[in-house]
Amino acid sequence: MKGRVILVDDYGEGSIVAAELADTGLEVEQVRSCPVGEGIVALLAGPDVPVGPVELAALPDLRIVAATSTGFDHLDLDAIRAAGIYATHVAGYCDEEVAEHVIAMSCSLLRGLHVLDPVARQGRWYDYGSFPPRRIAGARMGIAGFGRIGREVAVRALALGFVVSAYDPFADADAMRAARVERVVDLTTLAATSDVLTLHAALSDATREMIGCEVIAAMPPGSFIVNCARAGLIDHDALGEAIRSGHLGGAALDVFPVEPPRPDDPVFGWPRTLVTPHAAWYSSDAAKAPYQRAARQALAVLEGREPDNTLVSPRR
C-alpha cells in the first residue's frame, strides 16, 4: 500500500499513528499546518485545523479526512462530500472521562470544595458560613443534551443520589424513562428545576448562547452551571453578571471562548468559580485513542472498507 498519511494536530503524536499503520507501507508524517501536494491519501485533522474547499483542492489524491476529535465543526462537510471523499470523527473516545469530570465539578460546587480549600489554608477553621456545603443526595441535576456524554453523566449522578432531569428535543423519551431520567420539554423549565445545570449539546447556530439571560434568570437562586462541552453554548457576559450579583451560586468551566484564555480574562475574576484547563477529556488512555482510531479509519478506507463514525461517505 502506498501513500502518505498526514497528522495535523499539535496535541497528538505521530508515533501513535505510525504504530497503528506499521507494516502497511504507508508513510506517516506530522506537520503543523494543512499540507499541499500529491500522494497524500489521508489527512488526520485536529480540532483547530479547518478543512474546506481550499485545502481539499490542494490535495488531489486525498481519500479521507479523519477528525481527531469528537467535534467536527472545523470540517466543511459539504465541500468534502462534493470532493467525493470520506469524513470521520472519533465520537465517544472520552465520554467516561468527561462524565467523571462533570460529576467531580458538580460535587465540588455543591460541597463548596473550591471555596473551602482557600478558607482552610487561611486558617479559618470551621468557617462554613459564607458557603455552607450542601447535601448531594436529593440535589437536582439538569442535563441539557442527552447524547452519549449526557447519558454517562446521568448514570453517575443517579448513583450518587441526584434527582436527574434532561432536555433534548432529539432524544428518545422511552430511553430517558428507561434511564430513570425525567424528560423536560424546554430548556427554561430545565433551568428552573435544576440545582446544577450541566451542558452537553453540540455547538451550532441553533445552540450558540442557548444559556443566556432568560435561561440564567430562570435558575433557582444559588444554583450552579457546569460546562465541559463548548464555550459558545453560554453567553459569558450574562453568566458573569449572574455570578457577580449572587443570583448563581457559582459555575465550573472547562472550556473558554478563547483558549488558552488571557490572564486578564474576566472569568478569573468571578467569585465562586471553578476553572480547569480544557482537561475534562483527558486520561492517559484518552490521550492516545483519537489518533489510534483516526488511523484505523484511514486504513479502513484505503483497504476499501467502510470506517466507523462516518460523517460523509462517497458510497451514500
Alpha carbon distance 304, 141 (integer Å) = 45
Q: Which of 101, 140, 200, 230 is catalytic?
A: 230
Task: Give the burial class of 17: count Cβ atoms within 10 A of its Cβ; 0-12 exposed, 13-18 middle, 19 or more buried.
Answer: buried
Report the 3 state secondary structure along 251-297.
EEECCCCCCCCCCCCHHHHCCCEEECCCCCCCCHHHHHHHHHHHHHH
Cα–Cα distance measured from residue 146 to residue 152, given in angstroms and rounded to the nearest whole number: 9
Name the active-site residue from 38, 214, 259, 306.
259
Other CB atoms within 10 Å distance of the CB of residue 85: 22
Give the CA distances from residue 280 to residues 31, 104, 123, 283, in Å, rounded to whole numbers and listed in that order.
26, 10, 31, 9
* CA-closest candidate to residue 12, choices 290, 200, 241: 290
CA dist 125 and 136 (Å) reads 22
Whether 259 sits among the annotated catalytic residues: the reply is yes
Grid cell, residue 115, equals 471555596
Q: How many CB atoms lie within 10 A of CB 189?
A: 15
The distance from CA 137 to its chain's CA centroid, rounded to whole angstroms, is 26
- What the block records as the C-alpha cell of 116 is 473551602
The reply to whether 278 belongs to the active site is: yes
What grid cell was written down for 123? 486558617
Residues labelled catalytic: 230, 259, 278
